[in-house]
Every structure is written in structure tokens, then in C-alpha cells.
Structure 1
Amino acid sequence: MTVGLAARRRSGEAYDLLMPPTKAELEAARDATIPDVIGPGLDVLFCGINPGLYSAATGFHFARPGNRFWPALHLSGLVPRLLAPHEQGLLPSYGLGITNLVARATARAEELRPEEFREGGALLADLVRRAGPRVLAVCGVSAYRVAFGRPKAAIGPQDDVIGGAAVWVLPNPSGLNAHWRLEGIAAEMARLRPAPDGVQEETRLTAGGGNGATSRS
């Protein structure tokens, strides 16, 4: 279910997009879900770990102030300007989409059980098969390791092919991830851009681009 500001949008009640959710709305957002942002012919489908309470209360992915997803996306060159979370509906026009590994919202990802990650991985593979993106980019190496049984996975391209898509693991853009700076996250995202004509895609997808940080999310 969706709650809070998201519910008010559906009811037509006037609201301020920039108004943060109340404490009550945040608490009511536990276990809520957010619809995927998806469309045909996507170049990259980003996959978050699961919605935080702030995102679930607003209905927007990576919405909590301090999350670096949207600034990093802009710095990467994948979108021409900085998008606000409430502009997420524009992403498919740039060949991009967003989903989550686990649908239900929690205050912290640590509240999720290992079996939820594994079940989410199976559901994600089915979604990718249906949506057909070129690349699946999972935003969080620890979640990827658990969901797909890859305990040694690191940031960057993976040997796995999921649902027919190449797989890339990105740093978790949460502001709680002190191991990666904004510039490093953006550099990893930039490596997802389609290769220019005449350049082998594999070269772009394996070239350097990190910030020297450890591959922890």
C-alpha cells in the first residue's frame, strides 16, 4: 500500500511537493510500497534496496534529503539536468527506470530478512525479463550479494546476466554510506552510458571510474 503524501495526491487533496512528511506519515509508511518507474526499451533499470520511510510516505524513489542518487545521476551525464525526486516520471524519456529489490518500506535496510532479499531477487529477474533493459544496475553491493548468492561481488560489472540484462553493481547512494563520495558514485553511474559508435560496449563497462573507495554499501 502507499500512504501519506502519496495517498493525498491520489485523493486530489492540495499539498506541497517540497513539504516533508510528518512523523505520523513516516510511521504509517512502514511496509508501504512505491510503484516502479519503468517503460519500454530502457537503457538502464536502477534497482534500490528497498524504500525508506521518507520515500514511501512521499511516493518518490530515493526521496530522503541527503540521498545522493539524484545528484549523482545528473553528474554522471545520464540526465541533462538535476531532477527532483518528484520528477521521477521523466526518467523513461531518458531510457532510465527505477525499481526495488524488496518492495516494502523500512526505516533501515537492516530490518529486512535474508529471505526477503532472495525472494526479491527472483521477482526482480522476472521483472527484468519482461521490461528488457540493457543494463540492470543494483544500488548496493551487500544487498546484491545476499539476493543472488554472490558473497564476493564487488562494485562494478558482474559476470551474471539477469533476465537477459547485463548486471552492474553501484555504491549505495544513501547518505549513510560514508565509504563513497558523491563524485565516486557519479563516476560509477557514468560507466553505464551507452558506448559511442565504434567503441566496444565491453570496453566502457569494464573501464575504470571509481573513487578508490572500498566496495561496501
Structure 2
Amino acid sequence: MRFTPEELEAARGRLVPDVVASGLHVLFCGINPGLMTAVTGHHFARPGNRFWPVLHAAGFTPRRFRPDEQEELPAHGLGITNVVARATARADELTAAEYREGGRLLAEKVARLRPRWLAVAGVTAYRVAFDDKHAVIGPQERMLGDTRIWALPNPSGLNAHWTLPTMAEEYGRLRAAAFAEGEPA
């Protein structure tokens, strides 16, 4: 799908509904919706975003889903939310205060939904949202109630130092941990 610059700009600030359910194995958490996501209403919708290919390559899904198939994720024990709800063209348009408030709201959401793992796709966003300056990619010491946290590489095409295979390997480590106590959906 192609959208005009005007259509994309009109999506600035829009909210995109979460794809969630109680008791998920993994609740994936993006930084915030991009304008393409806001226009389509589908998470990680920008064509260069590698979330959907990585999800499949890591073994979370039986095939590569398209963004418009996001509603199938809960049947596989997966969901999607964001640290900050409002759509922007770039994550650098967000303020530290928005990240911190997003972290607070995310903690409330996790307490309500109780996923096994919260997977934040962007270690820098995780660091700011949860005031953890030294966090690195991988499982975190911090927990939200009974929910473990994993910081993942951001799947944006702009994150070029993480290739599809290296991202799939890291996401695969999370998948192994998330489904260690049960079969993948």
C-alpha cells in the first residue's frame, strides 16, 4: 500500500489498538507506532520493518504473517503493545517524560494482562521507560509482578547493525525461554 505524505502526516498522534489477551506467553512492545502503522491500524506495518519476518524466523509463528494478520497472534500466545501510544514519524520525536509515563502505563497493563514475558523491542526505549541505564539486549533482572522482561533489538530497518539472522537468533532465545514450560502455539 502506498500513502501520500498528507495521509501519513494526518496520522500523526493517532492511537493504534493493542493486540492483547490475558496470560500471553510474550507481549511484544514496540517503541511507539509509526505513521504507516497509524494509517493502517496494523503494528509494524512499514515495509522495511523486520518484525514479521523475524517473528517467523525465530519460530514464533508457523509462517510469515502480514501486519494485517496481527489479530492471529493471541492464538499463538503472542500480543503487541507500545511503550508510548501516540504515532510519530520517528521515535526521536518522543520525550523522556513520555517514555517514563509509557513505562508506568505499561507496568499497569502487564499487571492486568499477566503475560509470561514482556519483550521490549528497543533497548534504549527500555532504558528510558524503566530508568535502567545499564540494560543490555537479553533477559533483564527486573520483573513486573510475575512477568519477566526481555530487551530485544528494534526490528526497524534503521537498526542496520542487527541483521535479520542475528535478530532471529536473539528473538529465538526469547522464544525458547517463553515456551520452555509449554508447547509453542
* TM-score for both structures, normalised by structure 1: 0.80
Shift of 1:164: 2.6
- Correspondence for 1:113: 95
CA distance in 2, matches of 1:96, 1:32: 23
Runs ≥4 in structure 1, deviation > 6 angstroms? Answer: none
* TM-score for both structures, normalised by structure 2: 0.94
Which structure 2 segments of 5+ residues have no match?
none
- Correspondence for 2:35: 53
**Which of the residues 17, 30, 33 maps onto 2:15?**
33
**Which of the residues 66, 85, 91 maps onto 1:103?**
85
Shift of 1:43: 0.3
1:29-58 deviation digits (Å, cap 9, x = unpaired): 101110000012200000000001111111
CA distance in 1, matches of 2:101, 2:156: 23
CA distance in 2, matches of 1:129, 1:196: 21
Identity of aligned residues (%): 62
- Correspondence for 1:79: 61
**Which of the residues 166, 172, 175 maps onto 1:190?**
172
Corresponding letter in the other structure for 2:30: G
1:142-173 deviation digits (Å, cap 9, x = unpaired): 11111111111000000000243100000000
**Which of the residues 120, 128, 131 maps onto 2:110?**
128
Greater relative contact order: 1 or 2 (C-alpha under 8 angstroms, separation 6 or more)? 2
Where 2:151 maps in the other structure, the secondary structure is: strand
**Which of the residues 50, 68, 76 maps onto 1:68?**
50
Corresponding letter in the other structure for 1:195: A
1:173-214 deviation digits (Å, cap 9, x = unpaired): 0000012001111111111221167xxxxxxxxxxxxxxxxx
Which has the larger Rg? Answer: 1
Where 1:192 maps in the other structure, the secondary structure is: helix
Shift of 1:94: 0.2
- Correspondence for 2:138: 156
- Correspondence for 1:178: 160
Where 2:174 maps in the other structure, the secondary structure is: coil
- Correspondence for 1:214: none
CA distance in 2, matches of 1:186, 1:163: 27
Give the CA RMSD over aligned residues. Answer: 1.1
Which structure 1 segments of 5+ residues have no match?
1-18, 198-217
